[in-house]
Structure 1
Amino acid sequence: MPDTPTRPLGAQISHMLKARGVDVIFGIPGVHNQEMYRGIEEAGITHVLARHEQGAGFMADGYARASGKPGVAYVITGPGLCNIMTPMGQAYSDSVSMLVISSCLDETSARRGQLHQMKDQRAAADTVCDWSLEATTPQAAYQLVNRAFQEMHSQRPRPKHIQVPISVLEGQAVAHDAGDLGLSDGTAQIDPVVIRDISQMISKTKRPLLVLGGGAKGGSDDIRAMLARCPIPVFTTYAGRGIVGSDYPYLFGSTLARPDSAAIFAQSDLVIAVGTELAEVDLWRDRLGQNATLVRIDIDPEVLSDTAGNTHRFNADARSVFRELAMVDDLPMRFDWTVEELATARARWRAETDAERPGIVPLCDALREAIPQDTMIYSDMTQFAYVAKEVWDMDRPGHWHHPYGFGTLGYATPAAIGGAIARKGAPTLAIIGDYGFHYTMQELGVAVELGLSLPIILWDNGKLAEIEDSMVRAQIAPNAVVARNPDFCKLAEAFGAKAAAPQTIGAFQTAVKEAFNADGPTLIYITPALKA
């Protein structure tokens, strides 16, 4: 019998990833992880060379959110892994499927002074992802890759980290087992008793409310079908926008953070929260505000482990539950809520948002009119996005991505690049502030290299305005909130990108439309001085 053919494990891993559906890898090669690059082209995978590992991680995040597949990144030992830990933390907080594979030193206990050495890089990464494990054999590497894909498909999506010692990457290994992982469509059979219990609770109420989080995106069609027959008013988290269309008459919108939304919940006699942690970054207060029964539907047992009284907890996915609820014949066809009281509340909250950050609401309205219907938007930690998240209803789920939980600056530009790669030819847009742009501006070079028709709207208010406002509210004399900015348009042009600095809202809309048709990225520079 001839010997089983072998090749370096680093090359085998790329072939395994290709067999698992990976078409793109983001990263930066180095002397420690170069063996992982031996098999990329041979396997038929596209590699996107980032300018910084933070950019590679955000690109993988943006790719995952746009494609529905895990985003994969290759990084080196030590600083490479440290640099991608911020995107890993963001992916963890926002439930994004990301697989980071790094090299690591063969031994760190008895030796010091090695290149890229950390005391314990595996443990460091473990603080910002679902799990961080070391594969000391080829079989362990294959098993961990399979485990990552299985869990990201069947459980709450989270980033994973696998590190492989340099000598193991360089060592010869037989190919992975190419057998089918047997992944299902993500739905499960629901106990009829669960559907009966939920439907009976709905039937007994007069003022129910439904709260939809990002975890309910996969059930959008079934949720809409159920609401067409049983019109429960809906609040969404920021990540849940678009699960219910903007034309739904009983939509309170993504206004949970409005302080007096608690008064709306106090009027309800049943609240159903689906696919949401009801976290601080969803509510910006300690509790939702309801006194009535709370029903929680989630696939994450941790979310269901809260100790709040009068709560019914169901470990299930939104698609499975609402697929069954949509077929229940005797759900109520009307409740005591009126379209007028919803419209009044929304108008009040829109006015509050406009008063808090003046001048941005009209820009949001103008931008919404200017973009193609299927545009996928990536925003950053900037006041433009904070306003848009409250006043801009989406007509479909999963089309506005923001660093909601971890709240990192610099997310939008590289994440939008990853999204544009995932959706070739489909419209993608980035919205970022002047300060956040500094964090990852170098990734503009990647968008130029790839010829991505990517509008990047840069909102320049000349300062860290949100922090300044917070300092003033806390009676702290604002300091360290103003940084000298470059000429952003010239900077973009130096990268080879296009640039525009419209002075009116009409010119702004024109610049956006032209950017979608350009043969590369366009930085669209706007300030609070933009006029109607």
Structure 2
Amino acid sequence: MTSIGEALVAHLTARGVDCVFGIPGVHTIELYRGLAASSIRHVTPRHEQGAGFMADGYARTSGKPGVAFVITGPGLTNTLTAMGQARADSVPMLVVSGVNATDSLGKGLGHLHELPDQQALARTVALVSERVECADDLAPALDSAFAPFRSGRPGPTHVEIPLDVAGAEAPQPPLLVPSNGAPPVDAAKIKQAVQMISNARAPVILAGGGTRHAARQLRAFAEKLGAPVVQTVNARGVLFDHPLGIPASPSLTAVRALIEASDLVLAFGTELGQTDYDMYATGVMPQINTLIRVDRCAEQLARHRADLTILGDTAEVLDVLTSQLAAPRANTGGAARAAQTRNAAFDELGPEMRALSEILNAARDAVPNAIFVGDSAYPIYAGNLYYDHDRPGGWFNAATGFGALGYGIPAAIGAAIAEPSARVICISGDGGAQFSLPEMMCAVDENLPITFVIWNNHGYQEIATSMQAVDVTVVGCDPTPPDFEHIANAHEMPFWRCGDDAKAIASALSSATSHDGPTLIEIRAPNVARPGYETSPQ
């Protein structure tokens, strides 16, 4: 016999889980009983929100579900913010929590960590929330929690195990993992799509986050079709430095003009969401004449009008379409249309955002093939508008979708755990970094190859300028940042400080990334809310 906690670890191992992010507590001790003897790596964050963000960064980088173990009550509520970010960006995440003893639930008896209805709270964010009340419930609960990762649009799921259940005896589980539930691609719809594509004279491709692990298939399809490829934030890197690539926001006027002039738009793995396609919140989305949508989620396909929808895995559909198209087409003018749009979009940014985009280019070239993870910070806003990354899936941040501050540092840790051979560059503002600075010590504990870059403009610059733009007196936008050199010293990390000059930043990155473990760079940037703030390199 074994315990339910031990059976849980065995089931997770059988499903390919190799890392769990969690903070042990008295309400999860039994979940840890089998962990030390298993092959699963345990990483200890400093806050449960950090555990969720680490699981998110791990999942985006690896393509596998990120898993977090959290305690009852505050452990789960602390993780809900990270679950919200994962829900918005379709990131597979499993949160396993404790919950009070079964006979106390909902009775308001004043138990430690008690909530009126913890599972109901989880269900406001999770795609699935299951409770394990006996040994026979465990496998079905995990099947239910993992189902959205195999088919449909993924997101966070939740399983809770009561205190009186986790340590109960369970038979050695039969470790049967359900097969992939992806539906077969509809051959009739593929035939219809091929006909529509063949008739198009100026096609355009919209690539969303669903293409981040299908870069090869997307490139082959785009080249055969001769169509420009507009990449949303979560798709950056899938067509790096390619004549057909447009690494610019579809919210920009130049990109909208390309889309609206097209006689056929093919949207792959994108939810057509407001934070990508209407970033300036005008209430107006790009107007599309004829639209084919491909997505793995039927509910998502039903949310926008389309002339044809194809349900299926993006990589598989791209392969099938490419194989059924005629010889490569030379009459679409795709490369010329893409070049014209790139140039117009870059010019549209304005001098400040263009300069920030060039800084990102210099950073990318200084550390090739790195993973760039971002928080809500000025360089990230600029990159989301226009930036071409050199690694598929290597540019992601929390400035779109749910928009949670404090994401960058822990998500970078998750990414580094998932891909230990890659350098990770974490870009945070001084304000956002203060949400999760303690997580840096986790990077030290794990000796991870992360360079934390703090864009220090001494406050919430974006909010200050937004308040000024509508004649609201700036209040609350100047929280004093810590001395980041002292922060680096406290974490025993090498430290560099420079101004916001592209060459200086590239030089600092080259030096910082020559070290094996975590390092810290502070960039002293101009600040509009506090004009006298020191910005010179030190």
TM-score scaled by length of structure 1: 0.93
Q: Please, which of 323, 339, 352 is the counterpart of residue 327 of structure 1?
A: 323
| TM-superposed deviation, 1:291 | 4.6
Asked whether the equivalents of residues 68 and 95 of structure 2 are also in contact (C-alpha less than 8 Å), the reply is yes
Q: Distance in 2 between matches of 1:489 and 1:335?
A: 57
Q: Partner of 1:405 in structure 2?
A: 401
Question: How has the CA–CA distance of structure 1 residues 307 and 362 changed in structure 2, closer, same or farther, with 3 Å as cutoff?
Answer: closer
| TM-superposed deviation, 1:30 | 0.9
Q: Distance in 1 between matches of 2:335 and 2:474?
A: 43
Q: Partner of 2:498 in structure 1?
A: 502
Asked whether the equivalents of residues 267 and 290 of structure 1 are also in contact (C-alpha less than 8 Å), the reply is no
Q: Partner of 1:480 in structure 2?
A: 476
Matches within 5 A, 1:267-346: 267-284=261-278, 285-306=282-303, 308=305, 311-330=307-326, 333-337=329-333, 339-346=335-342
Matches within 5 A, 1:76-115: 76-106=71-101, 107-115=104-112
Q: Partner of 2:133 in structure 1?
A: 136
Q: Partner of 1:512 in structure 2?
A: 509
| TM-superposed deviation, 1:115 | 0.5
Q: Distance in 2 between matches of 1:15 and 1:525?
A: 43
Answering whether residue 435 of structure 2 is matched by residue 427 of structure 1, we say no
Q: Distance in 1 between matches of 2:328 and 2:422?
A: 40
Q: Distance in 1 between matches of 2:178 and 2:198?
A: 41
| TM-superposed deviation, 1:354 | 4.2
- Aligned positions, number: 521
Q: Partner of 1:34 in structure 2?
A: 29
Question: How has the CA–CA distance of structure 1 residues 337 and 329 changed in structure 2, closer, same or farther, with 3 Å as cutoff?
Answer: closer
Asked whether the equivalents of residues 100 and 161 of structure 1 are also in contact (C-alpha less than 8 Å), the reply is yes
Q: Distance in 2 between matches of 1:354 and 1:129?
A: 40
Question: How has the CA–CA distance of structure 1 residues 8 and 291 changed in structure 2, closer, same or farther, with 3 Å as cutoff?
Answer: closer
Q: Distance in 2 between matches of 1:505 and 1:314?
A: 44
Q: Please, which of 342, 345, 350 is the counterpart of residue 346 of structure 2?
A: 350
**Structure 1, residues 417-461: CA drift from partner, whole Å, max 9, x if none?**
111111123221111111010001000111111111210111011
Q: Partner of 2:382 in structure 1?
A: 387
Q: Distance in 1 between matches of 2:409 and 2:479?
A: 20
Comparing 356-365 and 288-297, the one that deviates more: 356-365
Give the 3-state SS of the residue equivalent to 1:210 in structure 2: strand
Answering whether residue 432 of structure 2 is matched by residue 436 of structure 1, we say yes
Give the 3-state SS of the residue equivalent to 1:372 in structure 2: coil
Amino acid paired to 1:262: R
Answering whether residue 167 of structure 2 is matched by residue 170 of structure 1, we say yes
Give the 3-state SS of the residue equivalent to 1:266 in structure 2: helix
Answering whether residue 516 of structure 2 is matched by residue 525 of structure 1, we say no
Give the 3-state SS of the residue equivalent to 1:362 in structure 2: helix
Q: Distance in 2 between matches of 1:425 and 1:34?
A: 32
| TM-superposed deviation, 1:260 | 4.4
Q: Partner of 2:215 in structure 1?
A: 220
Q: Distance in 1 between matches of 2:335 and 2:516?
A: 45
**Structure 1, residues 94-128: CA drift from partner, whole Å, max 9, x if none?**
11111100000122333421101111111111112
| TM-superposed deviation, 1:208 | 1.5
| TM-superposed deviation, 1:254 | 2.7
Asked whether the equivalents of residues 217 and 397 of structure 1 are also in contact (C-alpha less than 8 Å), the reply is yes
Q: Please report the RMSD computed on the Cα atoms of aligned residues, expressed in angstroms.
A: 2.0
Q: Distance in 2 between matches of 1:445 and 1:195?
A: 51
Q: Please, which of 172, 182, 190 is the counterpart of residue 195 of structure 1?
A: 190
Query: Percent of aligned pairs with the same residue?
Result: 35
Asked whether the equivalents of residues 431 and 456 of structure 1 are also in contact (C-alpha less than 8 Å), the reply is yes
> Which ranges in structure 2 are unaligned for 5 or more consecutive residues?
526-534
Answering whether residue 174 of structure 2 is matched by residue 148 of structure 1, we say no
| TM-superposed deviation, 1:46 | 1.7
Question: How has the CA–CA distance of structure 1 residues 475 and 344 changed in structure 2, closer, same or farther, with 3 Å as cutoff?
Answer: farther
Q: Partner of 1:3 in structure 2?
A: none
Q: Distance in 2 between matches of 1:210 and 1:261?
A: 12
> Which ranges in structure 1 are unaligned for 5 or more consecutive residues?
1-5
**Structure 1, residues 484-518: CA drift from partner, whole Å, max 9, x if none?**
11101211211222211134543422321232232
Q: Distance in 2 between matches of 1:396 and 1:519?
A: 21
Give the 3-state SS of the residue equivalent to 2:520 in structure 1: strand
| TM-superposed deviation, 1:358 | 6.6
Comparing 311-320 and 200-209, the one that deviates more: 311-320
Q: Partner of 2:114 in structure 1?
A: 117
**Structure 1, residues 367-405: CA drift from partner, whole Å, max 9, x if none?**
1110122x1111111111111223321234211121231
Answering whether residue 176 of structure 2 is matched by residue 182 of structure 1, we say no
Q: Partner of 1:263 in structure 2?
A: 257
Q: Distance in 2 between matches of 1:175 and 1:155?
A: 31
Q: Partner of 2:247 in structure 1?
A: 253
**Structure 1, residues 309-349: CA drift from partner, whole Å, max 9, x if none?**
x6322222222221112112426613454644533332232
Q: Partner of 1:52 in structure 2?
A: 47
TM-score scaled by length of structure 2: 0.92
Comparing 343-352 and 54-63, the one that deviates more: 343-352
Comparing 400-409 and 355-364, the one that deviates more: 355-364
Amino acid paired to 1:342: A
Q: Distance in 1 between matches of 2:356 and 2:386?
A: 10
Asked whether the equivalents of residues 354 and 360 of structure 1 are also in contact (C-alpha less than 8 Å), the reply is no
Comparing 358-367 and 475-484, the one that deviates more: 358-367
Answering whether residue 463 of structure 2 is matched by residue 467 of structure 1, we say yes
Asked whether the equivalents of residues 458 and 525 of structure 1 are also in contact (C-alpha less than 8 Å), the reply is yes
Q: Distance in 2 between matches of 1:435 and 1:109?
A: 38
Give the 3-state SS of the residue equivalent to 2:37 in structure 1: helix
Asked whether the equivalents of residues 381 and 436 of structure 1 are also in contact (C-alpha less than 8 Å), the reply is yes
Question: How has the CA–CA distance of structure 1 residues 90 and 338 changed in structure 2, closer, same or farther, with 3 Å as cutoff?
Answer: closer
